[in-house]
Structures are given as C-alpha cells and as structure tokens.
Structure 1
Amino acid sequence: MTADDRGEPGPVAVLANPTAGRGRHRGLLPRLLEGLATSGRRVQVLTASSPAEAEAACHAAVADGVGALVAVGGDGTVHRALQAVAGTTVPFGPVPAGTGNDFAVDTGFPADPLRAVEVIAEALRAGRSRAVDLARMSGADGVDRWYGAVLAAGFDAIVNERANRMRWPRGPRRYDLAILVELARLRPRRYTLRLDGVAHELDAVLVAVANCPTYGGGMRICPAADPTDGLLDVVVGGRIDRRTLIRVKPRIYQGTHVTHPLVASYRARTVELTAEGITTYADGERALDLPVTITAVPGALRLLR
C-alpha cells in the first residue's frame, strides 16, 4: 500500500544539481535537505547524471505520486523540473543555488538557499501553494516545452549557440569570446511576429518573450512582465548596430533599455515567432528552433510559498 492509498501525502522529491553555480553550494545540500525535512514530510533525492536524466527522473517522480517537487540549482535545473510539474497539481519549490536564479527570485523566493527552503518547508507544513503562469512553446514538429522565465530568440540566443559549439576556452571566458565573435557578425534579421493573430514584420537583433522580468542572472529584459497576469511580454531590439548594442546592453539590468527609440514592447496571450536560422534558449537552456508558438498558460504551476 502506498502513502497515497493511506491518504497520506507522497514524499517531497528533490532534484539537486551539484554543479549549479559552479558548485559553490555543493556542501550546503545536507542542510537544505534537513530544512525540507522540518516540514514533517519524507524527502526523496532524485538521482541523475545528465540534464536529460534529471528531466526523466522528475517525470517519473510525478508519475509515481510524489507530494511535491523541489529543484535545488539554477534556472536550468528549474527548467528541467518544470517539464514534469507544469499543468499538474503537484506543487513546486525552486531553491536558488545556481549562477542564474531568475525564476525563483522573480516569483518571490529569497535569493538565499537556506531561507528559500524555510519558505518551502513552511508552505508544505501549511499545505499552501500559490498559482503562477508558465509559458508553453510549440515547435513546427509538434514538440512542446514549458518555461518559467524568458525565451531568448535573438542576439543572446545566437551567442549561447556559438558558446555551446566552442570547445575552447573553458568556463565563462568561452561565453565572453562568443559575444565578441557574434558582435563582429551582428546584423538585423527579419522576423515575423504574430501577436494574438496580428502579424508584424520587423528587422531586429534582439527578441525576448517573457513570463517573468529577468534572465541571465538579473537582467531585466522584459521589466513589466508579471507571471500572474495571463500574458506574455515581448521586447524587440530593432535595427541596432554594434556600438548602440554595447551602449544599451548595460541598461538591461535596470530595465531602462525599453525607453530606447529602437526598442519596442508588446503584450499578448499567444506569440508566434518566425525567423531563419535561430535556435531559441528558454530559461537559459537550449530549446526549439524557430518557428515557435508561445502561449501564456494561467495558473499552470503551483508554487510552495
């Protein structure tokens, strides 16, 4: 007989990424697990040796009837876990322990991992969860993916794709070099942007479709995005040259870039995005090739807070 058969809640499954944030919180995991155990619930650590295995482990845990899922790591770890809990009643808790923790912070969790666990444990004790929106993207081949924060489909996505193909140098310098290479190749691309059925043809170097305001570790790319309003925010950087992009990019941390005359903002429930040769990145993770259709799904996730 399972816990569910006895009317008891299932265990709290924990997906932990020991390499998140370059491993700086690796030694903290036992304390985080102890904090979750104060909820009075059994804690079950999921095992995985790759992102694909992590995602599969989360799907298996949800199918087995876990009472909650907690992700310890950054936005990439959260992204893997979201694929399993999106659209279900299984509550979710993100513990920010990565390089980028945008989804956790934007949805109200403390940036400190121990404090975030306290919030999650209290919600578990109280049986409390709160609904937030997620974005669902669908590719031309029928594949669906969920994301919580931001979909990048312009210069930032191109840089990520370049960095992922490079074998040298290792670490953050590889990303810095990828930026320099792609800045040298910077050119506007032609996009078709269909917002709730209304088409816009435009040339742009930066396109972001957001459920939450920030990406990349606190860059407020879509500063007005609200994960509880049932809408997606779209920010487009138009025919921007290299010099202008270098000047405008630092303003993204404050969200003031949206006042630049070459930057446009939109809001819609459904966004269809088409361009040639772009692979999108969602929550910092490699996602689908364009074209994609992105839909805001109200209340698709129950958060433990």
Structure 2
Amino acid sequence: MSTSTRAALLVCPASGKGRAARMAGTVAERLRAVVDRLDLHVARTAEGTAAAARRAVDDGVDVLVVLGGDGGAHLAVQACAESPTALAVVPAGTGNDLATALGTTSVDDVVTALREGTRADYDLGRVENGPWFATVLCAGFDSAVNERANAMRWPAGPRRYDLAILAELAALRPRRLVVETEDDVLELDALLVAVGNTTSYGGGIPVCPDASVTDGLFDLTVVRAAPRRTLLRMLPTLRTGRHVDHPAVQTLRARSARLSGPSWVAYADGERLSGMPLTTTCVPGALTAVIGAGGAAVTGAG
C-alpha cells in the first residue's frame, strides 16, 4: 500500500477479557510497518468507542482498524458507513463474526491486506431511525437468550449463556410475528427470525447460510412454531446451516423487511435495539472494508 496511507487503531481494551489490551502493543507495531501514520485511540466504554471512531473518520483517516470484538466493530461501522474511511477488524473478542466475514481472523491477515491494498465494498443493513448493522439482526429465541444472560450476575463467561439457553428452552413459547417484505407477507406463530447481511452470528452460527454481503439483499430465516423436542433436534443443525432444510424453517430474500410482534425484542450485531416493530433495509456497498483471503468479493489492489 502507498506510504501516504493514514490509519487509526481503535483499541477496546476490555474485549476478550482483556485480550485486546494485551495485544495492543504488538498490533500497533505490526500496523506501523505497513502504513505511513498510525493514530492510537483507546476507549474503555461504548460511548468512548463510538466517539473515538467518529473522531478518526471525521479526521479523514484512510483506514480505521478496530482491535476488539463484535461490539467495538459495530460501533466503528456506525462511523465508517457511507464514508471514505475503510474499516479493518483485528479480532480480540468472543464471537468475532464480522472479522470472520471480512476474512481477517488475525493481525497477520490485516497486515497482509493493508500491504496489498485488498478492499471490497460490502452491503450494510440499516434500521429505520436506528443503527447500521453488518452481520445479523435477530429476534425471538436467540434474543431472549441474550436478554436473560445480560440480566444474570452469575456465572461469568460462556456458562452464563449455557444456562440462559436452558432456561429459555424451558420457558419457550411461540409468539405472533409479522414479516413484510417487498414480495411477501408472513403472519405466523414463530420462535425466531433472523435477517442476515452476513451468514453468521453468535460466534460462527450460520443462521442465514446463503447470505451474501455483495448482492444488495438480506437473507431471512424464520423458524415457525414447533414442539420443544423439534427445536432440540434442530439446534445441532444450526452449526452446519442444515436447519434451513427443516419443514419448520422458511427462508426469504429481500431488500427490506418490516418485523412486528407484540412482545419481540430485537438485536443487531449482538446489540439490543430499541424495540419492535422495526423496518430494516439493505444498503448496497455502504461499507468499504479491508479484507483478507477469506473475505468475499476481493477487488484487488486499491
């Protein structure tokens, strides 16, 4: 990449239980070898991360590199969307779904992509009167797990989510859902709906296995009401993407979707939204991304 490149490194030190903080010095050193100037920002809160990302983009950096997890990446997307600043992600969180979609699973991948100038224009989802999202917007069972886990004080780490899943399975009840797209209207009792810009959420679960970040469309996965035992049998297939073959699962493709339900809570990129009903639209090419060999739509040197 040309020596005129300006980059900013945004460190989210709490990500990965302090993993980002431990990596920061090494990552900064590696990045300085492939850019002309590197500004360093350390943000210890979500508000600080959002403000630092906005400052970097407003300052006109060519690349904003986030060292953190999906939460930090989500906040950086808000600043980089529809701007000339490219986003790069060095994964240091627990899920790292956006980094996986970008094909940057390590600092080595980011350094190589910066050196070679490998970038692509990726679609983003935008919630009306709400945020941008890069990966998956979901509501239903998985959002209820998030809600329960966030309210729990014990235990720490992944065990909290394991217990939340068990508790939500025990309390599982279908809820009325209406999904409206430009071509379809579904009104049904459902357990889950996912609107995928990328394929995966939750640390690599391909809930929308055929989603593409470059086709200008969302992939929607809707799980209809089914007995608890059916869901238990279906859960393992989520890891392989084979759940879409189940009769209780319906898939759609759309440019926009309106979701409504009387008691549904929605999350996007793992972050809680203000509530439903909501409308979200796929915005083609809204994000310029620095991508590794595993990322989609490699456009070559820039």
TM-score w.r.t. structure 1 length?
0.89
* Alignment partner, residue 291 of structure 1: 277
After superposition, the C-alpha distances for 1:91-145 in whole angstroms (9 at most, x for unaligned) are: 1111122211112212332x2x22223234314xx4x53111111112xxxx320
- The one-letter amino acid paired with 2:164 is A
Q: Find the aligned partners of 2:4 and 2:278 in 1 and give their Cα distance.
A: 38
Deviation string 1:176-230 (CA, Å, 9 cap, x unpaired) is 2222221111111111100116422111101100000011111110000000010
Alignment length, in residue pairs? Answer: 289
Query: By how many angstroms is 1:236 displaced?
Result: 0.6
Secondary structure of the residue that 1:49 maps to in structure 2? coil
Q: Within the alignment, does 1:192 sit opposite 2:178 as a pair?
A: yes
SS at match of 2:131: strand
**1:3 is matched with which residue?**
none
Whether contact under 8 Å (1:93, 1:120) holds in the other structure is: no
Structure 1: distance between partners of 2:113 and 2:41: 18
Q: Which moved more, 1:265-274 or 1:180-189?
A: 180-189
Give 2:51's aligned residue. 56
Counterpart residue number, 1:176: 162
CA separation in 2, counterparts of 1:52 and 1:196?
Answer: 35
Instruction: Check if 1:135 corresponds to 2:125.
Output: yes
Distance 1:40 1:60, change over 3 A: closer
Judge which range, 128-137 or 169-178, deviates more: 169-178
Contact 1:102–1:217 (CA<8 Å) still a contact in 2? yes
Q: 1:77-226 counterparts in 2 under 5 A?
A: 77-109=72-104, 111=105, 113-123=106-116, 126=117, 128-138=118-128, 143-196=129-182, 198-226=184-212
* 1:251, distance to aligned residue in structure 2 (A): 0.8
1:238 aligns with 2:224: yes
Q: How far apart, in 2, do the equivalents of 1:53 and 1:277 lie?
A: 32
Fraction of identical pairs, as percent: 45
Change (3 A) 1:49 1:26: closer
Separation of aligned partners in 2, 1:47 and 1:73: 11
Shift of 1:25: 5.0
Are the aligned partners of 2:53 and 2:79 in contact in 1 as well (CA < 8 Å)?
A: yes
Q: Which runs of 5+ in 2 are unaligned?
A: 292-302
Post-superposition CA distance 1:32-74 (Å, at most 9, x none):
1111111232111213221121012111221222222111122
RMSD: 1.7
Q: Which is further off, 223-232 or 18-27?
A: 18-27
CA distance in 2, matches of 1:29, 1:53: 17
The one of 251, 261, 266 equivalent to 1:275 is: 261
TM-score (norm 2): 0.90
